Amino acid sequence: MKDKVKNFFNKISPVLNRIGSNKYLQTITAAMMATLGPTILGSFAILLGVWAGNEKWTKIATIANNIGNVTINLLALYIVFLIAKNLVPHFLENDDGNAAGIIAMMSFFILTPMGQIKDGNNLINALPTTWLASQGVFSAMIVGVLVARLYVFIKQHGWTIKMPAGVPPMVSDAFATLIPALVCGIISGLISFGFLFTDWGSFHQMIYSLIQVPLRGLGGSLGAMILISLLQQIIWFFGIHGSNVVMPIVTPIWLSMDMQNLAALQAGKPLPNIIGLAFFQIITWSGTALGLVLLMLIARSKRYRDLGRLAIVPALFGVTEPIIFGTPLVLNFDLAVPFITNNTIALIIGYIVTRIGWVARFPGVQQVFGLPIGFHAAVEGKVSIIVLQLIIQLIISPLLWYPWLRHADNKALKLEKDMG
């Protein structure tokens, strides 16, 4: 049976590796990682703004809310630029993608409906943040990809203004992007005009209604999160970086749900979502491998005791590569069941205790990798979330690992005794 499973994954591993190295998934991953700074800053700023508002510190609340508005509430702008910027170099070696990113932002703005605010007797044009925040994330991704591909197509076919050899490169590069900018701008304007005759009214509303809302309904459910968790760990078990394969697909969905929660928190409304990217990362922190490391510290075999001592400090900071590859957990059928299922069990427990109100809903603050246990959850600003992470990692995780490690430990001890 084990050989059949190994042979099956040996056959499909090239496909999974191609998925993990897909230029579009890599682009999404790079773009989402690059927004980590603004999202973390904006998350903390919103928490500070809510706290300062409750304390009647209005000036601090004003500044904190302004920071939140130009970070969290402009997330789609960062994403549309970064998607285009990171995709272009996959096709054009000598192009850093910056020009494509600017053109993508311009196109996104053209597709975004303008609003008006009244200042006395004057009407002032204004750009609502409706489509610049979480609601515009998917349209930003689509615009970024399409603009980047059109930019690449134009440049690959040489449809650019070429300057004489003596012209400085900076000037030549500027003229080389002129035609792509004009083409993308005109097409965006025509699309925007066309949508005025539809019930949607804008490109963003269509994408939100037809793609983002249904995907959030599918990918934003506990069942979908369980499926993603199991798939990710199964892929990890066979030595392929599961996170690189599956997380780019669901990160935009879960991140947009976190942004919804933060917007609700800022507005003083109930948080709409139980799960999200923050929920997944805090509940499955370290892949729930800390419990295994703690058990290894008291293992009977020298092999596992030594490995536990080596891995304990990194594991307390969420770094579990020493235990994954040192045990190893990859292709270790003795520990396959907990390695694959523990995250899922933790997610179900976390969802239930949050659903019934024992634990506060996660505001959606994005965590900094490398924070130690407890501190990693503390960024959500709720004591109950910290307690939940501690219980999962220090109590539930060791219990889930115990019968399987005990069996493996006994085998290792017998082998050590036989070897003298």
Does the global pTM surpass 0.95? no
- Which of 116-120, 143-147, 175-179, 293-297 is predicted least confidently? 116-120
Mean pLDDT of 108-113: 94
pLDDT at 1: 56
Other CB atoms within 10 Å distance of the CB of residue 360: 15
Domain spans in the chain, listed from the N-terminal domain onward: 21-219, 278-418
pLDDT at 181: 94
pLDDT at 10: 62
Judge whether 307 and 296 are in contact, CB under 8 Å: yes
Helices (H), 157-299: 169-176, 178-195, 203-207, 213-219, 222-237, 242-266, 277-283, 290-296
- pLDDT band per the 50, 70, 90 thresholds, residue 20: low
Rounded to the nearest integer, the mean pLDDT of the chain is 88
Q: Which range, 56-65, 139-148, 217-226, is most confident?
A: 139-148
DSSP, collapsed to helix, strand or coil, labels residue 335 as: coil
Query: Cis bond leading into 164, ω under 30°?
Result: no
User: Phi then psi for 125, rounded to 5 degrees?
Assistant: -65, 140
Q: What are the pLDDT digits (tens) for 347-370?
A: 999 999 999 999 999 999 888 777
- Which of 15-29, 228-242, 357-371 is predicted least confidently? 15-29
pLDDT at 258: 93
% the chain with pLDDT above 90 = 52
User: What is d(CA 314, CA 310) in angstroms, rounded to the nearest whole number?
Assistant: 8
pLDDT at 392: 96
pLDDT surpassing 80 at residue 218: no
Structure tokens at 67: 């920071």
pLDDT surpassing 90 at residue 88: yes
Question: Which residue did the predictor score with more confidence, 94 or 291?
Answer: 291
- pLDDT band per the 50, 70, 90 thresholds, residue 25: confident
Structure tokens at 242: 């599961």
Judge whether 320 and 311 are in contact, CB under 8 Å: yes
Q: What are the pLDDT digits (tens) for 4-19?
A: 656 665 666 666 667 6
pLDDT surpassing 80 at residue 231: yes
Mean pLDDT of 309-317: 91
Tell me the β-bridge partners of 125. Answer: 116
pLDDT at 361: 95
